[in-house]
Amino acid sequence: MLHRNHASTRAAGVIALMLASILRAGAQGAPAMQTPPAEPPVATAGAAEDAAPAEVAEDDDYTVDGFIDTYYSWNTNNPGGIVDPVRVFDGTSASPRVSLVQVHVEETADDDNFGFGVKLQAGLPANDNTATLIHSVSPSAIDRQFPWVQEAWVRYNTSHSKGAYLDFGKFNTHMGYEVIESRANMNYSRSILFGWAIPFYHFGLRYTYPFDDHFSAGAYLVNGWNNVVDNNTAKSVGLQAIYKRDQWTAVANWIGGDEGTGFRNVVDAYVTYATKDGDYDFALNADYGRDPNNGAAGTWWGVAAYARRNWDHDSLALRGEVFRDPQGFMMGVGNNTLYEVTGTYEHRFGHSLSARAEYRGDFANTAFFPLNAAARQARSQHTFTIGTVAYWK
C-alpha cells in the first residue's frame, strides 16, 4: 500500500465499516437511507466524473456511500431464456433482478499526499447481475473470478495547489458519456454505445491534471480492455481532455493498444449543456473504433443524443441513437446497423429512493432480435422496465 501508517489505520476502519454495511444489507434487505438531495439531477459529465474525487463533508477526509439497484423488465418479443443481444445490464425479461448492490469508500488526497478508492459490488442472481456481466467480457479468467471488485485504487496527490492525482489500480474507463451506475445516467438502460463501442474498466496508471478552472487533462497507461490480468504483453494508452465553460462541458477521449489482433484505436467525444435553472439537460455522444483484426479489419461507430426535463421530484428523459458495426467485429453479425429510442420517467421519493418507468424500442436492419424464444427472428424489440435505486451515505 502507498498510504502512510495513519492512512492505513483509517483504511482498515473504513473497510470494516463496509463489511458491516454489506452484512446489514443482507440481514435487513437494504441499508439505512440517508443521502442525495431530491433536487432535479444535473447533467452527468459521463466517465470523466470517475476520475474526479468524491464529494465529502468538510469535517471528513473520506466518504462512505452505497445503493441497491433493482429492476423488472418485460420484452414484448417473448425472448424466453435467450440473452438480449443489445442490452448489457438489464436484458432479462419477465424476472425481477437485483442488478447491483454497491458500497463505495474513498479517502481524498487533499489533506495529505495519499488517498484510495474502493467500490465493492454484487447482485442477484449470481450469474445475471451488473457485477458479473461487467466481467463476463474480460479475456482474463482471473478477472471473471473476482466480479465483486468494481474499482480498487490508491492515489498520490502530486500537486496540492492544483489537485493533480496519480492513481494506480483498477478503475472504470474514461471513455463514454454514460457510466456503470444507472442513477448517474439520464435513462435506466444503458446505450448501445456504452455496451458495445468502448471498454468497461482498466488496470494500470491514471493521471489527471487541472490546468485551470476550465481545462483539465488525463493520461492512462493500462493493460488493455477489461482486464486486470493482461492477456498479452502489450499495453494500451489513453488520453482525455475536458473543457468546461458556464453550463457547457466538452470531453474528448482516446484509447489505443494491441488487444491481440493488432493496434486498436477508439475515439470518443461528448458535449453536455445544462440550463442555469436546472430545468433542462442535453448531451451528444459519438464514438468511432477500428481494429486490424489480424488483416480482416473491423470498424464501428455510433452517435447518441439525450434530452431531459427536470422538475422538483420528477424528470422526463429521451435518448435516441444509431450504432453501425458493418463487419460484425463488435457484435458478431455483419452488415449490422442498430437504432434505439428510449423514454424514461423518474420520480424521486425524498432523499433516498428513486423509481423509473422506461420504454425502449430497439431496431435493426436485419433479423437481429429474438422472438418467441428463437434467436435472430425479428428486426425490432420493445421493452418496458421499472427500475428502482435506494441509496445511502
Q: Which residues contact 209 (CB under 8 A, 6 or more apart)?
A: 159, 162, 164, 216, 217, 218
Q: Which three cell numbers stand for residue 245?
A: 465553460
Q: Would you state the pLDDT for residue 142?
A: 86
Query: Under a CB-based contact definition with an 8 Å cutoff, are residues 119 and 102 in contact?
Result: yes
DSSP string, 140-172: -HHHHH-TTEEEEEEEEEEETTTTEEEEEEEEE
Q: State the 10-residue block means of pLDDT for the chain, 393 residues long.
A: 37 41 38 37 57 46 93 95 91 94 91 91 93 90 91 92 90 98 97 98 97 96 93 93 97 96 96 97 98 96 98 97 96 93 96 96 96 93 98 92
Q: Domain locations in the chain?
A: 5-385
Q: Which three cell numbers stand for residue 26?
A: 443482507
DSSP string, 109-121: SSSSSEEEEEEEE
* pTM given for the model: 0.85
Alpha carbon of residue 159 to chain centroid: 28
Q: Would you state the pLDDT for residue 41?
A: 52
- The CATH fold assigned to 5-385 is Porin (2.40.160)
Distance CA 283, CA 302 (A): 14
Q: Would you state the pLDDT for residue 60?
A: 56
Q: Mapping DSSP to helix (H, G, I), strand (E, B) and coil, where does residue 343 land?
A: strand
Query: Under a CB-based contact definition with an 8 Å cutoff, are residues 248 and 271 in contact?
Result: yes
